[in-house]
């Protein structure tokens, strides 16, 4: 049986599928609570902070850059795609680290599943950008 080699367009479509999966995962995570803060002196004794609120520290701009990167990659503009993808990853990683810094001002807090899902999506974007950089370096994609 003969093997079918993937051409450049097929590889780009596979990478774009990874981008779409990460984008959907990040959009799913922002609808979930990221942090619960316990405050015994208030009624109710806790506050929930959702992802859509906590992504104002640069995360939404990072998300927009990731969308632009996916669109550029789909149109075979890999150099520009890497630039926007790396900028988006930097902003998203900064945002998730800043959320941890933001939590430090509370006495008792818990990080919830939405935070880890969003962080996983950010790591997916980071790995995709590293993969595209390797593909460009070794001329696997144009």
| Domains in the chain, CATH or no CATH each | 8-132 (1.20.140.150)
Q: Which regions of 54-134 does DSSP assign to beta strands (E)?
A: 109-111
- The DSSP output letter for 57 is G
CA proximity to 89, closest of 55, 54, 65, 113: 65
Report the predicted TM-score, pTM, of the whole model to 2 decimal places.
0.87
In this structure, are residues 62 and 95 in contact, taking their beta carbons and an 8 Å threshold?
yes
List, for residues 92-119, the tens digit of each pLDDT value. Answer: 999 999 998 988 888 888 999 999 999 9
Q: Does the pLDDT at position 60 exceed 90?
A: yes
List, for residues 10-30, the tens digit of each pLDDT value. Answer: 888 888 899 999 999 999 999
């Amino acid at each position: 049986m003969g093997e079918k080699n993937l051409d450049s367009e097929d590889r780009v479509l596979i990478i774009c599928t990874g981008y779409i999966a990460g984008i959907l995962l990040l959009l799913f995570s922002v609808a979930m609570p990221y942090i619960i803060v316990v405050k015994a002196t208030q009624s109710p004794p806790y506050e929930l902070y959702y992802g859509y609120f906590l992504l104002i520290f640069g995360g939404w701009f990072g998300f927009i850059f990731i969308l632009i990167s996916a669109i550029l990659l789909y149109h075979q503009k890999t150099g520009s795609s890497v630039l926007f993808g790396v900028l988006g990853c930097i902003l998203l990683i900064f945002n998730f680290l800043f959320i941890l810094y933001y939590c430090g001002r509370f006495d008792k807090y818990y990080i919830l599943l939405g935070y880890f899902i969003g962080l996983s999506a950010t790591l997916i974007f980071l790995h995709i950008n590293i993969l595209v950089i390797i593909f460009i370096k070794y001329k696997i994609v144009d």
